[in-house]
Structure 1
Amino acid sequence: MTYSEAIDYLYAQLPVFHRIGAKALKPGLDNIVKLCEYLGNPQEKFRTIHVGGTNGKGSSSHLLAAVLQSAGYKTGLYTSPHLKSFTERIRIDGFPMPDAEVADFVETHKAFIEDLKPSFFEVTVGMAFDYFARQNVDLAVIEVGLGGRLDSTNIITPLVSLITNIGWDHSDILGDTLQKIAIEKAGIIKPGVPVVVSERDPETQAVFADRAKACQSPLVFASDVYAVTDFGVREKGRLLSVTDQKGFIAGLTVGLLGTYQLKNTAGVLATLDVLQNEFELSQPAVQNGFAKVVELTGLKGRWQILQQNPTVICDTAHNEPGILNVLESLETVSYRQLHLVVGFVRDKDLSKVIRLFPKGARYYFCQPHIPRALDAEVLAEAFRAEGYAGDVFPDVNQALEAAKSRAQPADCILVTGSTYVVAELNQLDA
């Protein structure tokens, strides 16, 4: 079986969330437990960090992995979804899982997969655990796929759990209040395992406090421990000043340029504090990991500048808090005219996000090439009903080319609205 055949098989045989949405979910952890038992429980053969939250969990996972790599540890990293290649989901020291390893896993375990009938995500989680165990990683950073309590990754017992924040996303699955969503996210807190929450939020802090108390798990709200100040983008990244509770001040350059990384920084630093009990993590390793996170881990699509003159930026923000963060970052950019290329999937509550967008921008509505895509014409009508104007394109690359043809050198073009829209950008590989 070739790699292409293996990927085609997985997409054809298994329900895939990014294609069909909630129908792809398999309730409960029974399938992943059975799959991992069949594989010899590989998740028990290496140490882990578990990272959940509404926004920022991907960036935080990559930052943690980059620091661990910089400290000399063999580091696994599991994230989802991928942007360009399936193998982006499963990395060791920044290198994607080899195509041949993917093909071999599928071919070897095909009969069991067909008998179990797991979801696409469940198979990828089992594949990652198996690969990390066979490669003898020192530590693996495991990002939650959706929610937490019933997520397939939630069979690990990590050294520390990090929950970045709570916001409105997947409310049709996780709950119709922030407290209900927080309960699902808090489900990754394990008995006796320290937990870090990046941001203290009055609406949800009690959920984490109660769960941590019930599990007898030490709890830290990172925003209480670290104050992070932004000094703007420099040649090598965004320059931050970090002050801890003792008043110690340190400079930190982050290779991820969005202003929302200030919130992630506090959570990552507090998580590293917990890891210091078992791993030697020097200040140079921390600084190198933050500064070179993109090179070390291959992260794409987070406030990524694709070109200058005009400035073209893409960001995978796809929900209300994410878009708010991106628009906040946009305030730090100087431009003559803003052009916005936007596309969404069908299950997003547009009523919560449309009015966040600036009225003075020129809009280019598009859609990703997946079954869950929101038709660009429908998207345009929803925006027009709120007083926005723009043109419709069937593809993000056509929309971007139109924006570039109309933009002047001093303009800014932002591509956002869906991970899957950003994933289809041809320039992402440039």
Structure 2
Amino acid sequence: MTYQECLDYLYEQLPMFHRIGNAAFKKSLNNIIELCEAFGNPQQHFKSIHVAGTNGKGSSSHMLAAVLQKAGYKTGLYTSPHLKSFTERVKINGIELSESYLVQFVKDNKPLFEAVKPSFFEMTVALAFKFFADEKVDVAVIEVGLGGRLDSTNIIFPEVSLITNIGFDHQALLGNTLAEIAAEKAGIIKAGVPVVISTKQEEIMSVFQEKGLQVQAPLYFATEHVQVQLKQADLQKQVFDVQYADHQKQLLNLALDLTGIYQQYNLPGVLQTIELLQRKGFTIAEEAIRSGLSASKQITGLKGRWQVLSGKPLTICDTGHNIDGIKQILQQLQSLEPKQVHFVFGAVNDKDVTSILQLLPKNYQYYFCQPQIPRALEVAELQASAHEAGLMGEAYATVAEAVQAAKLNATADEVIFIGGSTFVVAEIEEL
């Protein structure tokens, strides 16, 4: 079996949420429990940090992994979805899972898959846990795929749990109110395991407080313990002054190579999680924090978060795809004071695209497109909805065609932005 044959098997045989949507989501942990029991429960053989949330969980996971790696720990990192290659999902010290390991894993376990009938995501989580155990990682940062309570990753017993921003996304599966969505995310809170909440959202604080009390988990709203103040920002880095409320410690001029303005909401959660790991006996020096955060993209290979692809015209992409994410993107685009924005935009068919279109400026030039997945929103439908919202632009069959058209139209002093969906960003050729 070649690597491509292996991928074909996985995509064809196992229901994949990111391709087909809600039908692939299993509302039970039975399959992942059965798979991991067959592998000797590998998730019990390494320490872990569990990261959930609507926006920010991917960035936070990568920042934590970078700091732990710089602190000298052999660090696993599990994230989803991938942008370019399946192997991006599973990394150790920034190095992706080898294609040969994946092929051997699938060959060895096809009978098990045919008996259990897992989803694509369940199989991938079991693969990651087994790989981390086989490679004897010291610690692994595990990002939740969707929700929390019923997510396949939720069979770990972590050192610390981290929950980032809560917003509206995947309502059909997680609930139609912030409180309902927060309750699903709070499902990762375990008995006695400290939990950090990155952003203090008054309307849902009680959801986390009640869950923490119920299972006797120490609860930390990060911004009560760590205050960050932005000092400087450009297209290469952001610089913060950090003050810890619990004691007199400061981190002045802390550089972060993730340049999205929304990282100011993720950073307190990341730093408070590191503080709790230190209290648990992890040796993480200030230098590891500084060097990890200042080069987290290089260390972990993170892509697609307010990523500058080229200059003249300045071309930027971002995977933000729900209302909160798009609002942050628009705020940062406005801060650039562009002469004109050429916006390459595509979406998937289970997002609240109407609400997102209402947010988008009418004076941008739009290039509507359709990522090449079954779950994509058809570009003609997207264009029609956009026109109803007063947004003008042409429709293109592929992301590549839309990007090329934007490059032809944009002048050197204008801005091209590519986004609307993770899957639009994934198809950018120069990513």
Q: TM-score range by the shorter chain?
A: over 0.9
Counterpart-to-counterpart distance in 2, 1:171 and 1:424: 26
Matches within 5 A, 1:303-382: 303-382=306-385
Change over 3 Å in CA distance of 1:391–1:281 after alignment to 2 = same
Question: Shift of the alpha carbon at 1:38?
Answer: 0.3
Q: What's the CA shift string for 1:199-232, capped at 9, x where partnerless?
A: 0101111000000010100000111122222233
Secondary structure of the equivalent of 1:128? Answer: helix
The AA in structure 2 aligned to 1:178 is L
Moved more, 316-325 or 155-164: 316-325
Displaced runs of 4+ in structure 1, greater than 3 A? 246-249
Structure 2 unaligned residues grouped into runs of 5+: none
Give the AA of the match of 1:239. Answer: V
SS at match of 1:289: helix
- C-alpha separation in 1, matches of 2:300 and 2:33: 29
Of 393, 399, 402, the residue aligned with 1:399 is: 402
Q: What SS is found at the alignment partner of 2:258?
A: coil
1:233 corresponds to which letter in structure 2? A
Conserved 8 A contact 1:256-1:293: yes
1:253 corresponding residue in structure 2: 255
Question: Which residue pairs with 1:81 in the alignment?
Answer: 81
Q: Please identify, of 26-35 and 248-257, the stretch whose mean Cα deviation from structure 2 is larger.
A: 248-257
- The answer to whether the 8 Å contact 2:365/2:392 transfers is yes
Partner SS for 2:203? coil
SS in 2 for 1:241: strand
Residue correspondences, number: 428
1:220 equivalent in structure 2: 220
User: Which residue is equivalent to 1:163?
Assistant: 163
Q: Distance in 2 between matches of 1:252 and 1:327?
A: 25
Report the alpha carbon displacement of residue 265 of structure 1 after superposing the two structures with TM: 0.5
Q: 1:390 to 1:234 in 2, by over 3 A?
A: closer
Counterpart Cα distance in 2 of 1:60 and 1:49? 11
Deviations 1:86-135 (A, max 9, x none): 00000000000000000000001111111110000000000000000000
How big is the shift at 1:248? Answer: 4.3
Over the aligned positions, Cα root-mean-square deviation in angstroms equals 1.0
Tell me, what secondary structure is at the counterpart of 2:145?
coil
Code of the residue aligned with 1:335 in structure 2: it is P
SS at 1:345's partner residue? coil
Q: In structure 1, the residue corresponding to 2:335 is in which secondary structure?
A: coil
Which stretch of structure 1 is more off in the superposition, 326-335 or 311-320? 326-335
**Offset, 1:247:** 5.6
CA contact 1:383–1:389 (8 Å) conserved in 2: yes
Q: How does 1:13-162 map to 2 (within 5 A)?
A: 13-162=13-162
Structure 2 length-normalised TM: 0.98
- Shift in Å at residue 251 of structure 1? 1.7
Q: Once structures 1 and 2 are overlaid, which stretch shifts more, 279-288 or 226-235?
A: 226-235
Secondary structure of the structure 2 residue equivalent to 1:409: coil
Q: Report the counterpart of residue 263 of structure 1 in structure 2.
A: 265
Question: Hey, what does 1:302 align to over in structure 2?
Answer: 305
Residues 374-429 of structure 1, C-alpha deviation per residue, up to 9 Å, x if partnerless?
Answer: 0111111111101111111111111111111111111011111100010011010x
Structure 1 Cα separation of the partners of residues 416 and 337 of structure 2: 12
Q: 8 Å contact 1:236–1:291 — kept in the other structure?
A: no
State the one-letter code of the partner of 2:205. Answer: Q
Q: CA deviation at 1:352?
A: 2.1
Q: Which runs of 5+ in 1 are unaligned?
A: none
Report the 3-state secondary structure (helix = DSSP H, G, I; strand = E; otherwise coil) of the residue aligned with 1:318. coil
Residue in structure 2 matched with residue 276 of structure 1 by the alignment: 278
One-letter amino acid of the counterpart of residue 229, structure 2? T
SS of the counterpart of 1:426? coil
Equivalent residue letter for 2:85: S
Q: Deviations over 1:241-285 (max 9, x none)?
A: 222214644221111110000111011000001100221101110
CA contact (8 A) 1:68 1:75 kept: yes
Amino acid of the residue matched to residue 340 of structure 1? F
What are the Cα deviations for residues 6-57 of structure 1, in whole angstroms up to 9, with x where unaligned?
Answer: 1111111110001110001122100000000001000000000000000000
State the AA in 2 paired with 1:105.
F
Letter in 2 for 1:163: I
Q: Paired residue for 2:389, among 386, 391, 412?
A: 386
- Offset from partner CA, 1:279-337 (integer Å, 9 cap, x none): 11011100111010011000000000000000000000111111111112223324211
State the 1:235 CA deviation: 7.2
Tell me, yes or no, if the aligned pair for 1:29 and 1:151 is still in contact at 8 Å.
Answer: yes
SS in 2 for 1:276: helix
Contact 2:236-2:259 at 8 Å conserved across structures: no
